[in-house]
Structure 1
């Protein structure tokens, strides 16, 4: 068989990739990842008991909001990367926006208090737990998201894998926020942001 004949044979009856199926599969995977991450956090770590306090609940929304924004933005970028050549039309730098915004707010918070308080604001009480918990909880969402991505047609596997890690890290951080007792912007910027980057 000649090369031209082989090309003709391979190009006959080629069906285009159903982009709706890719979107649906990824959506299901992310939804499953959210449920599994929440279950993992609640069963293994528990929910902090003082969420009935308005101040505590308000800061919980800040922490969860950061994780949700990272997840949604990562999902948007990941969808583009599941298509062949999609990375060429992706504004990957947008992934850094929530991190930069949170770091700016944390810096303002640090400037507004005496330097003697900086250590406690940045390290909190549970930084080691945060450092371990978010990446560990992210393993399950990452596995489910990777399964969905493998059924698509990404061409830049390194960047696609990093975005899958970003989404999984965002999901995990939002779930861990239900347990985390440390309520300061510098802590969230350093340990939530840092561990999500680690997942990426």
Structure 2
């Protein structure tokens, strides 16, 4: 009898507890985007914007260097937030659109470039700075974003982490492009893409470890 009373008391006390605050995906998304933005501001304070930025952005090939990763981030971040609810189906297929545009731009530039100039076009002059900056700018948003998402109920922790990493890396790449003067698609599709892939992989590994039930 006493055991039954104890169980009923426990149920009653749990029922009387206030409901946990609702997880606000928009707030988490803004925090992730804000962390990327803070990192970029600090980077640009140290390195500065490219001197010809206004003119450069009038060139479609140069504008694509900012627009494609920005589009990736704009798709990946809401998709990551959607995975916090088990019943949601994030439209990850939309990521194929900017990725396909980047691939098409790379192939078109490759076809127009003399064979002897292709290695130089791909390697450019700032590979190390590019990869280091994009990866470093991604780390804090990835870690904080995944930590915040632990309050959700994702059933696909690796996907959630990967999308947070992709959004962070793509956002970092879009911001880094404001400083970078390497406008050859052979360079930026290759190395921005590599930096974004590294961030996505880091996010996937951390998500699998930290978001697993």
Q: TM-score, normalised by structure 1?
A: 0.82
2:136 corresponds in structure 1 to: 136
Shift of 1:108: 1.1
Instruction: Indicate how the Cα distance of structure 1 residues 69 and 23 shifts in structure 2: closer, same or farther if over 3 A, else same.
Output: same
1:65 corresponds in structure 2 to: 67
Relative contact order higher in (CA < 8 Å, ≥ 6 apart): 1
Paired with 2:150 and 2:68, the residues of 1 have a C-alpha distance of 27
Q: What is the correspondence of 1:94-173 to structure 2 with a 5 Å cutoff?
A: 94-173=94-173
Q: What is the correspondence of 1:181-196 to structure 2 with a 5 Å cutoff?
A: 181-196=181-196
Instruction: Indicate how the Cα distance of structure 1 residues 35 and 55 shifts in structure 2: closer, same or farther if over 3 A, else same.
Output: closer
From the CA coordinates, give the structure whose radius of gyration is larger.
2
Residue deviations 1:20-48, cap 9 Å, x none?
x4222223213312421321321333222
Matched-pair contact (CA < 8 Å) for 2:77–2:167: yes
The runs of 5 or more residues in structure 2 that have no matched partner are 201-213
Task: Judge which range, 28-37 or 110-119, deviates more.
Answer: 28-37
Shift of 1:107: 0.6
Shift of 1:81: 0.8
1:24 corresponds in structure 2 to: 26
Moved over 6 A (4+): none
Task: Judge which range, 40-49 or 181-190, deviates more.
Answer: 40-49
Paired with 2:56 and 2:178, the residues of 1 have a C-alpha distance of 14
Match of 1:77 among 76, 79, 100: 79
Shift of 1:16: 8.3
Shift of 1:149: 1.8
Matched-pair contact (CA < 8 Å) for 2:29–2:78: no
Paired with 1:136 and 1:60, the residues of 2 have a C-alpha distance of 23
Matched-pair contact (CA < 8 Å) for 1:169–1:195: yes
Residue deviations 1:143-173, cap 9 Å, x none?
3322432232222222111111001101110
Paired with 1:191 and 1:141, the residues of 2 have a C-alpha distance of 20
Paired with 2:105 and 2:123, the residues of 1 have a C-alpha distance of 16
Q: How many residues align?
A: 192
